[in-house]
Amino acid sequence: MKLHLAVIGALGVTFFLIGCQPPVLNSIQPNQGVTKQIIGVEGSNLLFASVRWDADLLTETDVLQSFLTARYFQVPEADIGNHPVRLRNNAGYSADTKDFILSALSGNWPPPRSEDIGITLFSDNGDGTADIWLAVPVANVDPDATVQVDGAEKPSIFTSAIPNDYFSAHTASTYGYPVYHYGLLVSFLDNQALGENLSVRVTNTDGNSTTRTYQLPAAATDLDSDNDGLLDTWEAGGYLAPSGAIIDLAAMGCDSHRKDILVEVDWIAAAVPNDTIWTAIEDVFANAPILNPDGSQGISIHIDRGQGGAFTNGGTTLADHQTMDFGPNANPGYTDFFTYKGNATNFNPDRLNIFHYGVFGRARPGGSSGRGEIWGNDFMVTFVTFGEWGADITEAGTFIHELGHNLGLRHGGIDNAAADANETFKPNQESTMNYRYQFGGVSNDCNFTSEDFHTYSQGMYASINEADVNENIGICDNSPIDFDNSGVLTNGAAVNTNESVLDADTTDVHVNYDEWGNLKLNFTAPGSRWNGN
């Protein structure tokens, strides 16, 4: 309990140090939504402020909000229509109010869905136990949801969120799993045995729940608070490499409470990537619908392409080849990927346990745009001979696609035994992992048209039962889609498909998988396909 008291004490000191100024309300985002949705607040002096719903009306009231701050609030049950929102603290009210338009819920409120579990604070008691704050991000969670660990309810607080305004313009009930928001609950546990497995169950006020298992580290030195495969001691004090060298991860921008991915890239002269793709790739991960233990959104991807500073190993121009693959292969002009990686001039072996390695090459034997180990650390981008090479969106998309294999993703979903995990053109998998969207970017509405941006799936779209397809309603918003390009919209019958539309049979139920919530960042973990190379 000492950790809990220390945190409360620190917050109390902070309270007395804050100037006594009324809060300032700049905006609420989104400004339209439904009951139970979590809304973001932009402004200043938000610490120790409260959100006032129906400001200046007889129905004015406080609403559920983030812990000790007015940064986020949950929409209460109220009449459909306009509701003014204002902020208040001990110094007074915000000068401005902002209108929130309450709409009717489309369908039922979806159940919560666990996305991850991390640790935001950890105190080793020195007796094989620790006091910890678990950070539990959950889609569609209530701020006052209960947290149970191994069947026992634990104190918890709601700290941060990722609001979503997508369903202001779409019909939620036509989706398989609409995501209105992601929220972060932080729960205190004391005297927890190190190394034990915890069953963490989050239950919304409507009784729907979600459960995920989390294993505590065997020792404080094994702590990886954000589950990115980089231990806290490495990210704070440097990674001790096998040679005895120290790799300064903090200088590279790594943070023990925010997920990081480290990648080194090299290339042959014929496949030099455009400089502009790196920012685009970084933005995809930074904008990911992921909440870290520190409450921040997204993943920090650090790509060493020889740009200087802490990144001087990447960007090597490699010896040429005609084709490249994970070897061996007897074709003339062929180069084994690991011939490049095994040369310490190209890839420093001290990075083996912490860096992904990507090579931009010319082609693979027999073609294909690239290849990545599924839940591993090596990948290649190989489509110079394709007509699509040279455009930023195709180069960035193929990088994200092949790295996604390293993170445990397949073409049709997450790395599991599901029948459609390897289906390559599913129209309801809005992901750069999908061949349909790898080059041109994903579609984020209810058709097949790419929207010129890349991402992985959030698992929102309706499933498609190939044996009983209703093309009149498509995959969302009841927008018709002629899946088999027959010119006729089919309802309640099998569709004769082909690989470019759905797949080669008519027997699958295509599920839209939640890829962002199931990334496998630790490529050295037991069960991965990393072979130590």
Question: Tell me: the pLDDT tens digits for 246-292?
Answer: 999 999 999 999 999 999 999 999 999 999 999 999 999 999 999 99
Whether residues 80 and 121 fall in one domain? no
Beta strand 61-62 pairing with 32-33: unpaired
Domains in the chain, number: 3
Please count the other Cβ atoms lying within 10 Å of the Cβ belonging to residue 528.
Answer: 19
Whether residues 218 and 335 fall in one domain? no
- Please tell me which residue, 488 or 231, carries the higher pLDDT value: 231
In a domain, 273, yes or no: yes
Alpha helices, H only, 387-473? 392-406
Q: Is the torsion defined by CA of 280, 284, 285, 287 positive or negative?
A: positive
Whether residues 210 and 343 fall in one domain? no
pLDDT value for 190: 95
DSSP conformational letter for 273? P
| Residue 4: band (very low, low, confident or very high) from pLDDT cuts 50, 70, 90 | very low
User: Which H/E stretch holds residue 9?
Assistant: helix 2-17
The span from the CA of 74 to the CA of 441, in Å, is 33
Residue range 302-328: mean pLDDT, rounded:
96
The span from the CA of 41 to the CA of 485, in Å, is 45
Alpha helices, H only, 359-446? 392-406
Per DSSP, the three-state class of 368 is coil
Whether the per-residue pLDDT at 496 is higher than 60: the answer is: no
Whether the per-residue pLDDT at 142 is higher than 50: the answer is: yes
Whether residues 88 and 124 fall in one domain? no
Q: Would residue 503 be called left, alpha or beta, if left means φ above 0 and alpha means ψ between -120 and 50 degrees?
A: beta
Whether residues 95 and 123 fall in one domain? no
The span from the CA of 303 to the CA of 262, in Å, is 6
Peptide bond into 30 cis (omega under 30): yes
pLDDT value for 138: 98
The chain-wide mean pLDDT, for the chain, equals: 92
Whether residues 88 and 210 fall in one domain? no
**Burial class of residue 487, CB neighbours in 10 A (0-12, 13-18, 19+):** exposed
Please identify, among 63, 82, 102, the residue that sits at the C-terminal boundary of a domain: 102
**14-23, 126-135, 143-152, 411-420: which has the minimum mean pLDDT?**
14-23
Residue range 21-26: mean pLDDT, rounded:
97
pTM of the predicted model as reported, rounded to 2 decimal places: 0.94
**Which domain, by its residues, includes 214?**
113-222
Per-residue CA distances from 262 to 312, 381, 428 (Å): 13, 17, 30
In a domain, 244, yes or no: no
Whether the per-residue pLDDT at 417 is higher than 90: the answer is: no
Whether the per-residue pLDDT at 74 is higher than 90: the answer is: yes
Whether residues 142 and 187 fall in one domain? yes
The token duo for 489 is 């919209």
